[in-house]
Structure 1
Amino acid sequence: MTRWPYVLCAAFLLMALSPLLSASEALAASPFSGYIDLRYRYEYQHHFNLKSFGEQPVKGESCDGFWLQRLRIGGCWQASDWLTLAVGMQDSRVFDSDLNSESYFYNKRVDHEKNAYEDQWELYQTYLELAPFTQHNLKLRIGRQSISYGNNRIFGPGNWGNSGSYHWDAAKLSWHRGEHFVDLLWGAHIIHEPEQFSLHHRHENYGGGFYSHVQLSHQWAIEPFYIIKYDDHGNFSGESGTDDLTCHSLGSRVTGQLGPLTLDATLVGQWGRYGNDALRTWGGHIQLGHCFTVWPWQPTINVDYSYASGDRDPDDGTRQTFLGVFGSRDSMYGRINLFSWSNLHDAQATVSATPGKRLKLTMELHRFWLAAKQDVWSLNSSAYRDKTGHSGRHVGDEIDLFVQWQLPTLRGVETEKINVRVGYSRFWPGEFTKNVADNVVADWLFGQIQYNYRF
């Protein structure tokens, strides 16, 4: 199905907004605003891909180098104090990859291609926002939107991925007062199917509930939430048979200051049905950190621990594998992205420093174990599992090195940004990986430049 009518609508919007680019005084008073976000990244994957590890991958290629391009373009029109209209498009493409994308990204459960690299000319940030009751601090946003809170662990768009993990067709009712807020949500996230426009095929999972933020003091805040995730297509296979998914997630995030240390902690409990199995799982994360502000380069040290329960008995009719919620994993569990928040122990140490105003250096160290050694490695749940548990628990260790540099702008305006990032990661396999996959070391290298302009 052609996407050009939607592309032309976005182009028409940008042409209407273009006169604003040259008049800063008019911009301040204008009801129009817009954005252009263009990103190029080169990646080289050695002895791994998104679904396999080792020299003999179960799917895809063992080694691959490719270019990723993503363009986001759009704008908003504030028609009145209570009405805002937004239209945006995202175009994601991949070049020089050795993968056969159609077969590699095909997902049997949704019967569509779920492409992490490519989704050409798709709707992005296209919504209607109503705020008729400003005296009650209420607003309603309906349409295609990104949803994120806190550190993106519960809700996050997954922006590192070229097509993005979660783009929502949703309704969100928001109440806020000062730093406090409560959001009520209901919607579904799209499938990135390059051959079909998202309005012409099914969504993936539906979800809804609430997410809130309560500022207890200057230093402490809590973010209680309840989210339901469900899929009624009957394609979830459990130990006792195949049926629908219904997953309830209840928990909270807490942030605060413990003397010289910052604290960021999240705890989630899950229950429901996975196919014909009962679902009983939980996950958590805690981070303690400190920034040495009086030292040169202002180094920051963080220590993290992430946990997600696994299924210790593959035949008891109860699924104990934590499913995550709707969060990002881009920077959570190792930058190579061999793991998600499922059947996991992840011990992490991070050191970052800022040698200059525009320059940041980061190093991360990870050690990964399976929470239940009888359960799957989330990289590929159909390939990497030993139900006996005899293959061990230690999955591997990882080091990630990154440099981020903000370049001087082309026109010297504050609304324009040019960022360059380069990075290298290495993963050493542990006992479990050597037994079920391969004993080779994996490497990942990337270089990225991103141009962002707001007008």
Structure 2
Amino acid sequence: MKRYCQIALAFAISAFPISSIQAEELSTPSGKSWVIQQRAQQIGQAGTSAADKEPVKSAEGNFKWAIKPGHQPAEPPPPRPAMNTDREYDWWEQSATKAEAVPKPTSYHRRSNSYATNPDTDPPRYVRRLSDIGIEAFKHITWLDIGFEFRTRYEMRHNDIRRVEGGFDNPFFLRSRAYLGIREIIDPFRGAVEFQDSRVYNNRFPTTDQEYNPYDLIQAYGELYFKNALGEDDRKQNRPLRFRVGRMAYETLDRRFIARNEWRNTTNTFEGFRLNLGREANDWEIDMFGMQPVKRLQTEFDRRNDHLWFFGAIGHWRKWSDIITLQPYYMGQLQTADPNGRTATNQLAREIHMPSLRGYGKIGNWLDYDINFSYQFGTNGAQQHDAYGYTTEVGRNFNYAWKPRLSAFYGYATGDRNPNDNVNNRFDRFFGFARPWSADHYVIYENIKAPKIRFDLQPTQKLGLEAGYSWFWLASSTDRLFDSFDGNISVVRDPGFNRDRTGRSGDYVGSAVELRLRYQLTSRINTTFGYTHFTAGEFVKNRIAAHPDDIVQRSGNTDFFYVEVLMSAF
């Protein structure tokens, strides 16, 4: 890893003495014209989601329709919000631009309207080209990407069921990021480094790598980028080839299997390679990767997990994207047993294969949908692995001033049906995000049945309101509820209180009401207020009652409140 970092840092530093020669001119219309075209298309679609209407900051720092720098030089990417606390819903919108007789944009890409499923950009959304930060002296330096971001969050948790102890916990989380990348000027060679510092204060419980990871690199890579290697698509857009190697933090698909985990205070990252054929704007694209996850070490520099390989190939078919975008994909894990592994799973030799298919789009202007199915097979130690999971969401945006949206979601993932047989049925979420399965992090994509309804409003351009109600059942009453009661992720112990192998504790976990308010103070500062009340079901109540000497006796109901501030330098 040190060699990767040295190469990437030298690569970035060596670019500074190079003169700021303009990169080759874009073959498509200007950024301004392209954005007007994009906006025109959005205006022409009745009932378009707020997720499709995204402003970015101008070079002067004002919030208006402007091009946000992206990684594709031939055509600007869709406009992105300057900041989006945890990327779960893009609710920013600006006033309409007159769109008579404006041509339709050429990009095949359409964003999903489903909640929290649009991955972060590459480079991340807080990054800007140096030419776009509003300083006259830098206006011609288009080859350098730069970004600084700081986030702080206060949480109040009462009787958190992830702990065997009840009472209050009031931690403060701090996360700082900095990004530096170069592109175009010495093509085909490009590269980037991204630094992150994650800390927690006033935490009542022992810290884990979920909260604390100071002074480390989450990205340090070099790449070869060939702009016209694969010719053009039917809309005359170039189809590039990109090969990237080093340390990478990114997310793709609907973020359920590969995610940066923006809510969490620390970030998923990997070391290995990634090969892309085509790009987001094209009618088809293929993304292939082979990586080892990086272990977040709290007292030394992070290093990769030499016992685990994560690999796969993702296809994107966008030819019919006005109706449906299809994403067939395959992912796999190959793990050798680690006798020093922190969890029982780490200590097993495992091989898991997962073919999958996702489809999302719109049924006219009436409904939008997002459906995904994944099947897993392989070996889990001495056991066979046989599991599956699926998610489906349908929603509708109503054409009223406050832009209301109503949606319904259902997610299912198998759990281990029989703890005494030779088959493991527990679905593996790989490296996906936990939110928004449950805002308080009680539920993830394993052993779960989770229906949810959501209602969203955007009263003003700067204010967003969200409300949701969820119900949770275990798919198998004989399997666990993830990390509840000092389970899976505890650094102290895993007492096994989160599983009843007999199934007698029942399968109903509980329900939760989730509320969130977001307000944009300035173009560079976003605030979020959230509250969740969880009402315990029979499973949680029975697990508490079953261990009176170990788990602090309580009803199982919990409260979670937080305030978050996200600031960006540009």
Identity of aligned residues (%): 22
Q: How does 1:152-167 map to 2 (within 5 A)?
A: 152-164=255-267, 166-167=268-269
1:284 aligns with 2:284: no
Cα 1:243/1:449, change in 2 over 3 Å: closer
Q: How does 1:438-449 map to 2 (within 5 A)?
A: 438-449=554-565
1:31 aligns with 2:128: no
2:507 matched residue in structure 1: 393
The letter of the residue matching 2:560 is: W
SS in 1 for 2:518: strand
TM-score with structure 2 setting the length = 0.69
SS in 2 for 1:433: helix
1:402 aligns with 2:516: yes
Cα 1:19/1:314, change in 2 over 3 Å: closer
Cα 1:133/1:405, change in 2 over 3 Å: closer
Q: Distance in 1 between matches of 2:195 and 2:296?
A: 13
- Root mean square deviation of aligned Cα: 2.7
2:25 matched residue in structure 1: none
Q: 510, 532, 556: which one pairs with 1:425?
A: 532
Q: Distance in 2 between matches of 1:133 and 1:125?
A: 23
Deviation at 1:14, TM superposition (A): 13
Q: Distance in 1 between matches of 2:383 and 2:394?
A: 36
Structure 1 runs of 4+ aligned residues shifted over 4 Å read: 12-22, 234-239
**Contact (CA 8 Å) 2:15, 2:182: kept in 1 or not?**
no
CA offsets per residue over residues 301-353 of structure 1, 9 Å max, x none? Answer: 1100000001121111100111113211122x110010111110001001100
Cα 1:450/1:204, change in 2 over 3 Å: farther
The letter of the residue matching 2:190 is: T
**Contact (CA 8 Å) 2:173, 2:265: kept in 1 or not?**
yes
**Contact (CA 8 Å) 1:71, 1:91: kept in 2 or not?**
yes
SS in 2 for 1:48: coil
Structure 1, unaligned stretches of length 5 or more? Answer: 106-114, 410-416
Q: Distance in 2 between matches of 1:205 and 1:400?
A: 36
The letter of the residue matching 1:76 is: G
1:89 aligns with 2:89: no
1:251 matched residue in structure 2: 356
Cα 1:19/1:302, change in 2 over 3 Å: closer
Cα 1:265/1:450, change in 2 over 3 Å: same
1:131 aligns with 2:225: yes
Q: Distance in 2 between matches of 1:356 and 1:25?
A: 35
Q: Distance in 2 between matches of 1:304 and 1:375?
A: 23
2:169 matched residue in structure 1: 64
Q: 41, 65, 71: which one pairs with 2:153?
A: 41
Q: Distance in 2 between matches of 1:424 and 1:307?
A: 25
2:274 matched residue in structure 1: 172
CA offsets per residue over residues 135-159 of structure 1, 9 Å max, x none? Answer: 2221111112122123211221111
**Contact (CA 8 Å) 1:234, 1:275: kept in 2 or not?**
no
Please identify which structure carries the higher strand content. Answer: 1
Q: How does 1:110-129 map to 2 (within 5 A)?
A: 115-129=209-223
**Contact (CA 8 Å) 1:47, 1:63: kept in 2 or not?**
yes
Deviation at 1:16, TM superposition (A): 6.2
1:263 matched residue in structure 2: 369
Q: Distance in 2 between matches of 1:181 and 1:202?
A: 29
Cα 1:142/1:426, change in 2 over 3 Å: same
Q: 431, 450, 454: which one pairs with 2:566?
A: 450
SS in 2 for 1:436: helix
Cα 1:19/1:28, change in 2 over 3 Å: closer
The letter of the residue matching 2:139 is: L
2:88 matched residue in structure 1: none
Q: Distance in 2 between matches of 1:15 and 1:271?
A: 47
Q: Distance in 1 between matches of 2:393 and 2:440?
A: 20
Structure 2, unaligned stretches of length 5 or more? Answer: 18-128, 231-239, 489-495, 545-553
1:413 matched residue in structure 2: none
SS in 1 for 2:542: helix
Q: How does 1:143-222 map to 2 (within 5 A)?
A: 143-164=246-267, 166-176=268-278, 178-199=282-303, 202=305, 205-217=308-320, 218-222=322-326
The letter of the residue matching 1:390 is: R
- Single out whichever of 26-35 and 341-350 deviates more from structure 2: 26-35
Aligned length: 416
Q: Distance in 2 between matches of 1:357 and 1:28?
A: 31
Deviation at 1:238, TM superposition (A): 8.6
Cα 1:387/1:142, change in 2 over 3 Å: same
CA offsets per residue over residues 362-419 of structure 1, 9 Å max, x none? Answer: 011100000011111112353211112111110000111001112223xxxxxxx321
Q: Distance in 1 between matches of 2:14 and 2:139?
A: 14
Q: Distance in 1 between matches of 2:274 and 2:392?
A: 28
- Single out whichever of 266-275 and 146-155 deviates more from structure 2: 146-155
**Contact (CA 8 Å) 1:140, 1:173: kept in 2 or not?**
yes
Deviation at 1:62, TM superposition (A): 4.4
**Contact (CA 8 Å) 1:216, 1:222: kept in 2 or not?**
no
Q: Distance in 2 between matches of 1:279 and 1:232?
A: 15
SS in 1 for 2:260: coil
1:359 matched residue in structure 2: 463
CA offsets per residue over residues 194-250 of structure 1, 9 Å max, x none? Answer: 111013x645742001012111412211111111112212459999xx740111111
Q: Distance in 1 between matches of 2:559 and 2:469?
A: 14
Cα 1:40/1:388, change in 2 over 3 Å: same
**Contact (CA 8 Å) 2:307, 2:337: kept in 1 or not?**
no
Cα 1:346/1:14, change in 2 over 3 Å: farther
**Contact (CA 8 Å) 2:323, 2:363: kept in 1 or not?**
no
Deviation at 1:27, TM superposition (A): 3.3
Q: Distance in 1 between matches of 2:222 and 2:498?
A: 44
Cα 1:440/1:223, change in 2 over 3 Å: same
**Contact (CA 8 Å) 1:189, 1:204: kept in 2 or not?**
no
The letter of the residue matching 1:36 is: F
